A and B are shown apart, each in its own frame.
Chain A
Amino acid sequence: MSRQAIGVTVVLSILAALIVARSLIGDGSGRVYTRTVTTEMVEVRLPASDPAAVDEEQARQGQVVTEEAWVPVDSEEAKKYASEGAATISWTSRKNVPYSQVRASPDDEGISFSWSQTLGIWLAALLTLAIFSFLYKDNPIYKTAESLVVGVSAAYWMVVGFWDIIIPNLIGRLAPAFVEANFTPGLTDLEPQWRYLIPAIFGVLLLMRLAPKGQWLSLWTLAFIVGTTAALRMVAYIEGDFITQINATIEPLYQVVRNADGTTDGYATLWASIRQLILVVGVLSCLTYFFFSLEHKGAVGKVARVGIWFLMITFGAAFGMTVMGRITLLAARFEFLFDDWLWIIDPNKQREVASVISMITG
């Protein structure tokens, strides 16, 4: 065993010992408790919210039009409209309970320890540490976590695409009756829209890329994607960015700011005008720098140089904001480790006594 391996083993052992010690001190850590909630629904016939949509003929004659609906058994509507022997369906779900509540009512039989979520917290924490281990160097633990990211992300986006886009936007347009009967009850337009065969065909052509022969057919779909993107983006950027930004810049240099009584606020007017002047000078000088049809010499060169200064400030600000964003993410991961997992901090006041006092008193 090399010296480096011994060092890593020692560090990991100390870390594991500290985690075990934390789990045994006071109320422990990284546990989730849930309360079982039972939902019971009953089928009733309620007066239709849009009678004409349910039965146009009856609605025209002024008759009461009803429609089937499911309401909670303890609701006012259930008491009023549920008939004898009406169909009921019930199911249970679990809701998280803060640990302070578990301590306050230890005899509450509705609260129970959640194995699945506790396992989840520990798994998430260990995987977070596994990813952080890359800061030392590439290692098998990191590679395992990385492989999990690849597998889970690919399937995650496939599932999201299937349920959020393919079912409502493709199958829901081609076979709306089937989708209404099974996946999205309440759909009103049940006429198939056959033009949606176009993306279906292009989709199949795209998958030809995986076939041993005829891969070139996927270029047709690629051409469709490129054509759509080019057209939509061109219009969107010209309309939303090009024109809007020029419009926002071409404002009077003298910006009047008025007080509540209608008089001019001299100080605010001065600063607003300076702001507008800097904006106009900044935009024009930056655009001059981007203009390569003229050589950047003489007056043009000087203006372009001012443009570089503005761009440097912009890049500096962008860098600062990017760092801030990443640090915020990092802080959120540390918060997860120290709050949800180790119960050392408690920013949401979920288990004040359990985490802080028990740590001190043991």
Chain B
Amino acid sequence: MKRTVPLIITATVGLLLIVANFVPALSELSEDGTTFFSIIAAIAFVLGGGSLLKVHLKKLSDRDRGWAYSLIVLGSFFVTLVVGLFKIGAPPNPAYPDKPWAGGYNEPGTFFNWIYEYLFYPLTATMFAMLAFYIASAAFRAFRAKNFEAILLLGTAFIILLGQTAAGPALTNWIPPDGPFAGLRLEELSAYVMDVFNTAGSRAIVIGIALGIASTSLKILMGLDRSYLGGGN
């Protein structure tokens, strides 16, 4: 029961959706499958929230090390959730101003929008921006032009970086843009590398990924790969 039913569900749903692609009468099934998936994904956010509560409430009740941070997590979680779900500060929808719940939850002026603008966006954007420092640091340590392949990688990275900034055109400004060597200008070279060499490599990678996904999907649907059920089998 615990392992057979999930296997039947996976195979049935998967095969139905594949068949729906080839039978026009079943095309609605494919759309429904996508919508069902997005609904379950949205409910999974609730699971995520519940799991977060479970972990941090336990940490708080046990007075574990760093419990004060759990208090911040829970506080910010509840405030954001309440102002978002109850649409606090939401202006009426101009088309239906008599329906108080018809206004947008993320409209300018709502408390939820304020949290997005001044907490969520700056925090997440800065987190990602910090990766610039770590990528630069990792590249400095890892990139060594010790063989031909490494030189290719390093050289291409430099061409792309220079070509995308003002430094590239400035460095190769002396090459006439209409002459026979115009293609050696860094911005042109960068565009050519992206358009030709990068496209060739990316195409092969994408073809490989597609084949990999197709074979893995078939293994899952046929019940040969059961790793998602856990238990190491």
Question: Which A residues lie at the B interface, using CB under 8 A?
Answer: 39, 41, 43, 69-70, 72, 87, 89, 91, 93-94, 116-117, 120-121, 123-125, 127-128, 131-132, 134-135, 143-166, 169-170, 181-186, 195-196, 198-200, 202-203, 206-207, 209-210, 216, 219-235, 237-238, 241-242, 245-246, 248-249, 275, 278-279, 281-283, 286-287, 289-290, 307-324, 326-327, 329-330, 332-333, 336
Contact B18 A147 (CB under 8 A): no
Provide the B200-228 mask, 1 if CB < 8 A to any CB of A, else 0.
11111111111101101110110000001
Tell yes or no: B146 within 8 A of A by CB: no
> How many Å lie between the Cα of A226 and that of B83 in the bound state?
33
Specify which chain B residues have a CB less than 8 angstroms from the CB of A145 in the assembled complex: 123
Contact B201 A166 (CB under 8 A): no
- List 15 A-B residue pairs with CB atoms under 8 Å apart, sorted by A's residue number: A94-B109, A148-B123, A150-B73, A151-B73, A151-B74, A155-B49, A223-B7, A245-B210, A283-B200, A286-B203, A312-B153, A316-B156, A320-B160, A324-B165, A332-B129
Specify which of B9, B105, B124, B202 is in contact with A220 (CB 8 Å cutoff). B9
Specify which chain B residues have a CB less than 8 angstroms from the CB of A72 in the assembled complex: 94
Question: Which B residues lie at the A interface, using CB under 8 A?
Answer: 2, 5-7, 9-18, 21, 30, 32-52, 54, 66, 69-70, 72-81, 84-85, 91-99, 101-102, 105-106, 108-109, 112, 114-133, 135-136, 139, 148-150, 152-161, 164-165, 193-211, 213-214, 216-218, 220-221, 228-230
Closest Cβ neighbor of A276 among chain B residues: B196
> How many Å lie between the Cα of A147 and that of B97 in the bound state?
38
Specify which chain A residues have a CB less than 8 angstroms from the CB of B230 in the assembled complex: 219
Contact A279 B39 (CB under 8 A): no
Contact A223 B197 (CB under 8 A): no
Specify which of B196, B204, B214 is in contact with A286 (CB 8 Å cutoff). B204
Contact A224 B126 (CB under 8 A): no
A39-B91, A228-B17 given. 13 additional CB < 8 A pairs?
A127-B119, A148-B76, A149-B127, A155-B81, A157-B48, A216-B2, A223-B10, A224-B10, A231-B16, A241-B206, A312-B149, A313-B152, A314-B205
- B232–chain A nearest beta-carbon distance, Å: 15
Question: Known contacts being A127-B122, A132-B130, A308-B149, is A152 close to B161, with CB within 8 Å?
Answer: no
> How many Å lie between the Cα of A281 and that of B204 in the bound state?
11
- B83–chain A nearest beta-carbon distance, Å: 8
> How many Å lie between the Cα of A341 and that of B231 in the bound state?
53
> How many Å lie between the Cα of A282 and that of B195 in the bound state?
12
Specify which chain B residues have a CB less than 8 angstroms from the CB of A94 in the assembled complex: 109
Specify which of A89, A182, A286 is in contact with B97 (CB 8 Å cutoff). A89
Specify which of A127, A156, A186, A323 is in contact with B95 (CB 8 Å cutoff). A186
Contact B126 A238 (CB under 8 A): no
Contact B213 A147 (CB under 8 A): no
Contact A317 B193 (CB under 8 A): yes
Contact A313 B36 (CB under 8 A): no
> How many Å lie between the Cα of A117 and that of B114 in the bound state?
8
Closest Cβ neighbor of B218 among chain A residues: A234
Specify which of A147, A161, A336 is in contact with B42 (CB 8 Å cutoff). A161
Closest Cβ neighbor of A40 among chain B residues: B97
Specify which chain B residues have a CB less than 8 angstroms from the CB of A93 in the assembled complex: 91, 108-109
Closest Cβ neighbor of B16 among chain A residues: A231
Specify which of B45, B50, B92, B209 is in contact with A241 (CB 8 Å cutoff). B209
Question: Known contacts being A131-B123, A166-B39, A329-B125, is A155 close to B200, with CB within 8 Å?
Answer: no
